[in-house]
Amino acid sequence: MLSVENLRVSYGAIKAIHGVSLKVPQGSIVTLIGANGAGKSTILRALSGLVKPASGSILYDGQEISKLSPDKIVARGLCHVPEGRMVFANLTVHENLRMGAYLQHDRKWIAEQTDYVFGLFPRLKERENQSAGTLSGGEQQMLAIGRALLSKPKFLMLDEPSLGIAPLLVKTIFERIIEINREQGLTILLVEQNANLALDVSHYAYVLETGRILLEGPSSQLKANPQVQASYLGA
């Protein structure tokens, strides 16, 4: 569904991504793991059009998207939940969800998908009319994911969904990521510093180090890899 070839991204004179190639098959959960500063978030920003690659190819559903604007990319069904959640703090939970549906016009679908999100995350239903800025970090992450689901995505990119969240809510969120993948058939690209979690929920993984792919393989195999255990799993 997504094929990235020889992607290079620079911030001015600083080269952040050095010829990265990766694939995300339809219906799978693929994860990028690596230390802070490895370039994980930069890859997602390039895929969603927030930064323009210096070179390389990004094929999504067989079409080159590297030169498209972010709104055109979202319209094709590729949705990015950024690090830090970035909810609309002064809007209610319900209003935030409706913002996710700004490209959708089927009111029946919007209502059904909103109910689906409330079923996934009952806390959001309880806080439907509460300002998003008053939610906990975990609740805001649930809202950010729910808002993304209202955009009718085919491909969902999640950037550090466990960051700054209480362990109990992290467990809930990752269970829901698996559920979304299974029930809605969503393809998911997950960036996550918690390598144990990421490898547990994903099918395939890439290990990124200083802007380059160091290792790749089925998640279960990488979790058993001594190098990955020593560097990322605390073994």
Given a cut of 60, whether residue 99 has pLDDT beyond it is yes
pLDDT at 25 over 70: yes
Q: Report the alpha-carbon distance of residue 185 to residue 108 in Å, rounded.
A: 20
233: confidence class by pLDDT, cuts 50, 70, 90: confident
pLDDT, one tens digit per residue, over 163-215 is: 888 888 888 889 889 998 998 889 999 998 888 889 999 999 999 998 999 99
Angle between helices 93-100 and 137-149 (to 10 degrees): 30
Q: Does residue 2 have a pLDDT over 60?
A: yes
pLDDT of residue 213: 93
More confident residue, 18 or 83: 18
Using a pLDDT cut of 90, give the percent of the chain over it. Answer: 60
What average pLDDT score do residues 131-152 get? 90
Q: Cα(5)–Cα(53) distance, rounded to whole angstroms?
A: 11
The pLDDT tens digits for 61-96 are: 999 999 999 989 988 999 998 887 788 999 999 999
Instruction: List the 55-60 sheet strands across, edge first.
Output: 14-24, 2-11, 55-60, 63-64
Q: What is the pLDDT of residue 234?
A: 63
124-150 burial by CB neighbour count: b if 16+ within 10 A, else e?
A: beebeeebbeebeebbbbbbbbbbbbb
* Range in 82-86, 112-116, 146-150 the model is least confident about: 82-86
Q: Mean of the pLDDT values across residues 217-230?
A: 90
Q: How far apart are CA 186 and CA 180, in angstroms?
A: 7
Specify the residue for token string 């990488």.
222
Question: Per-residue pLDDT for 235 more than 70?
Answer: no
Residue with tokens 């939970």: 93
Find the length of the chain.
235
Question: 66: closest CA among 22, 12, 5?
Answer: 5
- Quickly name the fold that domain 2-85+150-232 has: Rossmann fold (3.40.50)
